[in-house]
Amino acid sequence: MSAIIYGIIAFISLICTGIYFYIWVKHFDVNFTVIFILVPIAAIGYYLQETSTTQDGIIKGIQVCYIGGSYLELFIVLCIFNLCGIEIKRWLRTALFCVCTMVFVSTLTIGYTDIFYKSMQFKMVGNYGVLTREYGFMHTVFYVVVAVLFLSGIIAILYSYLKKKQVPRIVLLLLLIPDVICMLGYFVGRRLLGGIDPVPLGYVIAQIMFLLLAYRMSLYNVSDTVIESMIHETQLGYISFDFNYRYLGSDEIGKRIVPEIADLAVDEVFGYKPSERRIRHFLDDFKNDPTKNLFTYIVADPDGDHDKNRIFNATVNYLHDGRKRRGYIVTFMDDTANRKYIQLLDTYNENLQQEVEQKTQSILEMHDNLIMSLAIMVESRDNSTGGHIKRTSEGVRILIDEIKKEGKLSLSQEFCKDVIKAAPMHDLGKIAVDDAVLRKPGKFTDAEYEEMKKHAAEGGRIISEILKQTEDESFKEVARNVAHYHHERWDGSGYPQGLAGEQIPIEARIMAIADVYDALVSKRVYKDAFSFEKANAIIMEGMGTQFDPSLKQVYEAARPRLEEYYQNQ
């Protein structure tokens, strides 16, 4: 009869464990999981020991029982302390685990030493074997450990009931019941249940309580449930990085917003592809000033319909692991509907809207004129590059026209306009170069050249500051890239970052050809103007080393117009 009862208990225990793993979510306390693994093991041990017909079989069953018996109360107590918000020092947790392990290891010596059982006597009763035993020293240690852990759990529950108002009372009750039931099972023994050991039954009742507790606790875990609700209801996307800009992961929404993420390997450095660079700039700005963490991220419609663009609020924050900062996390929240609603409200006063647009256009023109004036002012400081801004801008325009005719690069109209508009700004960084270097009537020394090279990175920074408040994010990105990267070389030997190949933004690769061509065919204080043939030979020789080889045909097609333009200067 007892074997059947133990078998039923083991079966119910397995069902409870199955239910637990069915409802399991990542918020569950890891101690729950350990408890639900140990209880069926212990219950099966009781069944094996009851149905064994040999002394060795009973001993093996006892040892299986003590896999659960040695550790269960420890993990119940750890669960209690964790749910009550009481911290246990790491060294103490480790010490308790070692003590419990020592108790379990002592059970493995049964039949070989007398430290757990001093003596044993086996006999058959009916169809089953019975093992009469006299307890040894380590069995007493086992009871002491269980009693200490039990009292610790009870004290933690009582303390939380009296002092911790944020711990739900139903949780304290659900913690108290399994702890008390297990203790009654350990210390009441078989006498009150007609020879049936109540411990496995107590384990199963404890499992049921912990199932209720696990279900209930998932509601109290506010931080996790709120985050999941927000992600589900608001379609929140995120992408995370470490402090070295290595990609760590993202959700599916983040991958849809930034499609390049889907092809990015975990731990790969992030920030070279076009849409990646925009986010890289967000991270750079946040790194420089953590108070500036809100940005606008626009996902353009594939057909170029601006009304179908999706607008996201991108927020950058630190990625935390406990109390430690481990990197950055960028969250995206779709703000398209809100912004379109605002636009809809604006249409109710068309005259006012037209006036606003006129004012805005006027401000933009004024803004552009100020930028152009600033570029001309910077150029006026340089003895050797008079008219360089005007000529390189026209050179970029001619190259862009040929790119659009060729059609291989599939650049949007907006992007082409932005590149032409940004071309005059490419040398703005020279404002930060010392006059003694900038106005030197001759070749630079190595030190002076290093000073001059700073203008590229400075140009990117200055443009970021000038265009900080602009809503035209695409133009700001193009202008910044043109200034920052127009001295990078295809083979990676350029400056300021030594980018290579397609890591260099396409707008900077176009600017580089126009910039170098003007330098070759124009007179400078340190050289005469080269002939068109010599300049062409230098440009062609640089295709694949200094310049993007895919622009070779574009340059060759643009060459007649470039030469005609420079002949008329």
Question: From CA 142, how far away is CA 103, in angstroms rounded?
Answer: 6
* pLDDT tens figures, 199-223: 788 788 888 888 887 766 554 444 4
Confidence (pLDDT) at 230? 46
Residue 387 has pLDDT above 80, yes or no: no
Helix or strand holding residue 326 (H, E): strand 324-334
Share of the chain above pLDDT 90, in %: 19
Q: What is the reported pTM?
A: 0.45
Q: Give start and end residues of each alpha helix (H) in 164-307.
A: 169-188, 198-220, 222-234, 252-257, 274-288
- DSSP assigned state of 136: -
CA distances from 307 to 336, 342, 345 (A): 10, 13, 15
Residue 229 — pLDDT band, cuts 50, 70, 90?
Answer: very low
Residue 345 has pLDDT above 80, yes or no: no
Q: Which amino acid is at 431?
A: I
* pLDDT tens figures, 479-525: 899 989 999 999 999 999 999 999 999 999 999 999 999 889 887 76
Dihedrals phi, psi of 239, to nearest 5 degrees: -140, 135
Mean pLDDT over residues 139-155, rounded? 89
Structure tokens given for 466: 């000038």
Angle at the Cα of 125 (from 120 to 130), degrees rounded to 5? 25
Name the one residue in this structure whose structure tokens are 């852990």.
149
Residue 190 has pLDDT above 50, yes or no: no
Contact 287, 317 (CB under 8 A): no
Residue 196 has pLDDT above 80, yes or no: no
Confidence (pLDDT) at 221? 47
* pLDDT tens figures, 350-380: 666 666 566 656 656 666 666 666 666 666 5
Question: From CA 100, how far away is CA 145, in angstroms rounded?
Answer: 8
Confidence (pLDDT) at 349? 59
Contact 485, 499 (CB under 8 A): yes
Question: From CA 494, how far away is CA 372, in angstroms rounded?
Answer: 26
Angle at the Cα of 387 (from 381 to 388), degrees rounded to 5? 85
CATH architecture of structural domain 2-220:
Up-down Bundle (1.20)
Q: Of the given ranges (80-94, 180-194, 500-514), which has the lowest mean pLDDT?
A: 180-194
Extents of the domains making up the chain: 2-220, 226-342, 350-567
Superfamily of domain 350-567: Hypothetical protein af1432 (1.10.3210.10)
Fold match between 226-342 and 350-567?
no
Q: Of the given ranges (69-78, 90-99, 155-164, 188-197), which has the lowest mean pLDDT?
A: 188-197
Question: From CA 190, how far away is CA 47, in angstroms rounded?
Answer: 15
Mean pLDDT over residues 416-443, rounded? 80
Confidence (pLDDT) at 433? 78
Residue 248 has pLDDT above 70, yes or no: yes
472-508: b (≥16 Cβ within 10 Å) or e: ebbbbbbbbbbbbbbbbbbeeebbbeebeeebbbbbb
123 vs 125, higher pLDDT: 123
Contact 43, 204 (CB under 8 A): yes
Confidence (pLDDT) at 141? 92
Cis, peptide link before residue 302, omega less than 30° from 0: no
Class of domain 226-342: alpha beta
Chain-wide mean pLDDT for the chain? 81
Q: Which residues is 334 bridged to in the sheet?
A: 312
- DSSP assigned state of 65: H
Q: Which residues is 320 bridged to in the sheet?
A: 325
Q: Which residues is 313 bridged to in the sheet?
A: 296, 333
